[in-house]
Amino acid sequence: MSRVLLAGLCTLDVLQLVERYPADNEKVTALAQTVAAGGPATNAAATVAHLGGSAVLLTAVGRHPLAAGIHADLAQLGVHLSDLSADDPGAPPVSSIVVSAGTGNRAVVSTNGAARTLTVPDLAPLLAGAAAVQVDGHYPELATAVLTEARRRGIPTVLDAGSWKPVIPQLLPLLDVVVCSADFRPPGVAGGPPVAAYLSAHGVGWIAVSRGAEPLLRWTPGGFVAQPVPRPAVLDTLGAGDILHGALTLAVARRWPLTDAAFAEALDEAAAVASRSCAFFGTRAWMSASPAANPAADPAADPAAGA
């Protein structure tokens, strides 16, 4: 079983599915509601565990009563939680999310945990046996320490680059794989090939751009190569990028060291998982509806899965 360490944000997500967004001072009744642990690293960890990997989540949760929901969700999923703020009495970051049933679009109001100060732990036992690590750029000191130690140990490193963060320039030399959203923009750098060239110039070996329902763009020495993604009926896109990164990190762990063909396969597997999740409301329903119909869900389909 491939062991993956994921470091970053953990929130408590409260999701409401509505026929339409309410107007000012209007109340609407939700069609459905769900509550789950959220955040980029957390949703990625949930995905790793669901797909048969051993997921270790390094984050900050605390001992506020609201943290009980986070602990219960992660325990049910089989995610091993290492809480760096276990004695903090403050509430965990909470995201309030309204999803439009008609479009799959959402409105989000949240906090990002920036107010919490974390002490980086001894990473040796946490990284022992790890086949890959992923960070999301939240808690910069933690991300830097995890990537530095992983690089020292020869463990492949992955960044969920959903948006630009000030810490990213110091992380780039420590990264093997970066999959960024189309909105990811280094200061002064235009989108498209200039972003990939920027990442490559800073030492990143494997680069791709995710664009929702549009084909993934995989960077090669000859430029971008488009990889189509499945296009399911979309109910909710929340967390799809996080799920993509979780599935990709596990696929990288199972295939390391990468070749261009192996990276392309890993991207295809991850895209299949993320696309499937968009057909369900919330970030968990896709896991229990039926077995995931892709090779990443079946370790026996991957000869490196047991590594």
Q: In the chain, what are the domain boundaries? A: 3-10+40-92+118-301
DSSP 92-135: PPEEEEEEETTT--EEEEE--STT--------HHHHTTEEEEEE
CA distance 221 to 135: 26
Tokens of residue 259, six digits: 């070749």
* 248-267 average pLDDT score: 98
Q: Binning pLDDT at 50, 70 and 90, where does residue 290 land?
A: low
Structure pTM? 0.92
Q: Which pLDDT does position 297 carry in this prediction?
A: 37
Q: Which pLDDT does position 85 carry in this prediction?
A: 94
Q: Which range (80-84, 143-147, 191-195, 266-270) has the least confidence?
A: 191-195
What's the one-letter identity of residue 60? A
Q: Which pLDDT does position 92 carry in this prediction?
A: 93
Residue pLDDT, tens place only, 180-228: 999 999 999 998 899 999 999 999 999 999 999 999 999 999 999 999 9
CA distance 263 to 253: 11
Q: Binning pLDDT at 50, 70 and 90, where does residue 302 land?
A: very low
Percent of the chain at pLDDT > 70 equals: 94
CA distance 231 to 237: 12
Q: Which pLDDT does position 292 carry in this prediction?
A: 38
* Higher pLDDT among residues 51 and 117, named by residue: 51
Q: Which pLDDT does position 49 carry in this prediction?
A: 98
CATH tag for 3-10+40-92+118-301 (out of 3.50.40.10, 3.30.70.1350, 3.40.50.300, 3.40.1190.20): 3.40.1190.20
Q: Which pLDDT does position 11 carry in this prediction?
A: 96
Q: Which pLDDT does position 70 carry in this prediction?
A: 97
104 has a pLDDT exceeding 90: no
Q: Which pLDDT does position 191 carry in this prediction?
A: 85
Q: Which pLDDT does position 263 carry in this prediction?
A: 98
Q: Which pLDDT does position 113 carry in this prediction?
A: 76
Q: Binning pLDDT at 50, 70 and 90, where does residue 77 land?
A: very high
* 24-39 average pLDDT score: 96
* 277-294 average pLDDT score: 79
Percent of the chain at pLDDT > 90 equals: 85
Name the residue among 40, 13, 5 with its Cα closest to residue 184: 40
CB atoms within 10 A of CB 29: 7
Residue pLDDT, tens place only, 131-186: 999 999 999 999 999 999 999 999 999 999 999 999 999 999 999 999 999 999 99
Tokens of residue 218, six digits: 């995989």
